[in-house]
Structure 1
Amino acid sequence: MSDQNHHLNTLQDIKQMMERSSRFISLSGLSGIAAGICALIGAWFAHGIIDNNRSSIANLKTIHHNDDSTISLAAYMGNPLMQIAALTFLAALVLAFAFTYLRSRKTNTPIWGSTARRVMINVAIPMIVGGIYLLKLIENEAYGYIAPGCLIFYGLAVLNASKYTLPELRYLSFGLLLLGIINLWYVGYGIYFWAMGFGVLHIIYGAIMWWKYERSSA
């Protein structure tokens, strides 16, 4: 009986090793928390600028090219908002990489192995396609649909990545997709949906992942 139990334990260990080698497990929960905090800070600054804009957020409920209630991209976004978006993305990216790198050292897994490359490819495809689609929306002055488009395509990218990393990542993708779809019926209020999706959901996901996988080694 002891030999049989030993054999079963060995098989389980091999299975866990295969599972470990096929998934990118260095993704840190602290990365999600940091990204979410950056998104909330960026949304807070952006909201103040939008409030001071000559047109309210509610005026973006139309996508018609020649409709008088449609404001220009410059009026809606403005250079300050573009700078906030760029800085927020850069800060979130740097912090996410830093925490992931630290976790990869703790778990003794390569940060740029074959699994990490598969993750990047599966993330890049929906993001690139989504970026092209969003540029077309901007070209047609469909500004109110940019925010839900970002949430939907990013959610698809996260769902794609979940196949090669922690399975709990799927729940984050489901939340992002749901928010993006709901936002389609609340055009013009994307800043709130962005804050909820890129901010709050990332913080919740990151906290759960840290508690489940990293707390014991902290």
Structure 2
Amino acid sequence: MKPAAQDPLAQLTEIRAIMERSSRFLSLSGLSGVGAGVVALLGALIGHFYLQSHYSDGYLQLMRGSAAERSAALPFLLLLSGVMIGLALLVAFFFTQRRTKHDGQVLWSGPARRLALALAVPLVTGGLFCLRLFLGGDAAMVIPGLLVFYGLALLNASKYTLDEIRWLGLTQIGLGLLCMMLPGWGLIFFGLGFGLGHIGYGLVMYNRYERPGAATVACKSVVAR
């Protein structure tokens, strides 16, 4: 029996693993997903209470209201969105940087830059598109649009990172399309997609790749793909 060091199959497997790591950013932290989900849930609650305090029917009235009512609410909604995005990015940076150090990797590597670009293009496009919907009187389609564009961004980025991102993206798209049929439930779908979806994904990823004893399983999983 040949030693492992001389086994051609073992050598090919090792080369494939090295190539996989050089082309993909594999140090995403599941805890960053959990943190982003918690931020999204808190943001949805803050938005709900704000709209309830300013409009008799809350979110429903904002969707059906006049352009003047939507314009009056826009500064607060943009501020809330900016704070949520900022906090989610800080959480993601903290936990992902911690994992890259643990894995002996560099955070802002070539694969990480490609991943960021693949995410940014659909997200920026979707954000501007949804802003135009809000200002143009189609406020009911804003949250479905955000979910769909975010799901497309995750699908676009999945080729540069862990394959599980693809399933999160498909989940977001499915929720967005369903929300289109039930626009009055927009805040609930927002919490489901950006909140519970991220938390569930993050816990799965943490248990699969980051918990003690999971490193060997994760390496075999990546190589098998």
- TM-score, normalization by structure 2: 0.86
Which residue does the alignment assign to 1:156?
A: 152
Cα deviation for residue 46 of structure 1 reads 1.5
For residues 3-23 of structure 1, the C-alpha deviation after alignment (integer angstroms, 9 at most, x for no partner) is: 587221111111111111111
1:185 to 181, 186, 191: 181
Q: Could you tell me how far apart the structure 2 residues matched to 1:55 and 1:109 are? A: 52
- TM-score, normalization by structure 1: 0.88
Cα deviation for residue 187 of structure 1 reads 1.5
Which residue does the alignment assign to 2:219?
A: none
Q: Could you tell me how far apart the structure 1 residues matched to 2:184 and 2:70 are? A: 13
Unaligned residue ranges in structure 1 (runs of 5+) = 63-68
Which residue does the alignment assign to 1:65?
A: none
**Alpha-carbon spacing, 1:142–1:178, altered in 2? closer, same or farther (3 Å):** same
Q: Could you tell me how far apart the structure 1 residues matched to 2:124 and 2:60 are? A: 29
Q: Could you tell me how far apart the structure 2 residues matched to 1:162 and 1:176 are? A: 14
Residue 122 (structure 1) aligned with residue 122 (structure 2): no
Q: Which amino acid aligns with 1:44?
A: L
For residues 61-80 of structure 1, the C-alpha deviation after alignment (integer angstroms, 9 at most, x for no partner) is: 65xxxxxx5462145x3544
Which residue does the alignment assign to 1:208?
A: 204
Q: Could you tell me how far apart the structure 1 residues matched to 2:45 and 2:31 are? A: 21
Which residue does the alignment assign to 2:60?
A: 58
Aligned positions, number: 211
**Alpha-carbon spacing, 1:141–1:55, altered in 2? closer, same or farther (3 Å):** farther
- Percent sequence identity over aligned pairs: 39
Residue 12 (structure 1) aligned with residue 8 (structure 2): no
SS in 2 for 1:44: helix
**Alpha-carbon spacing, 1:3–1:78, altered in 2? closer, same or farther (3 Å):** closer
Q: Which amino acid aligns with 1:17?
A: I
What does residue range 1-218 of structure 1 map to in structure 2 within 5 Å? Answer: 1-2=1-2, 6-56=7-57, 57-59=59-61, 70=66, 72-74=69-71, 77=73, 79-216=75-212
Q: Does the 8 Å contact 1:60/1:187 carry over to 2?
A: no
For residues 151-173 of structure 1, the C-alpha deviation after alignment (integer angstroms, 9 at most, x for no partner) is: 11111111111111000011100
For residues 97-153 of structure 1, the C-alpha deviation after alignment (integer angstroms, 9 at most, x for no partner) is: 111111110111111111111111111111122123123212312111111111111
Unaligned residue ranges in structure 2 (runs of 5+) = 215-225
196-205 vs 182-191, which deviates more?
A: 182-191
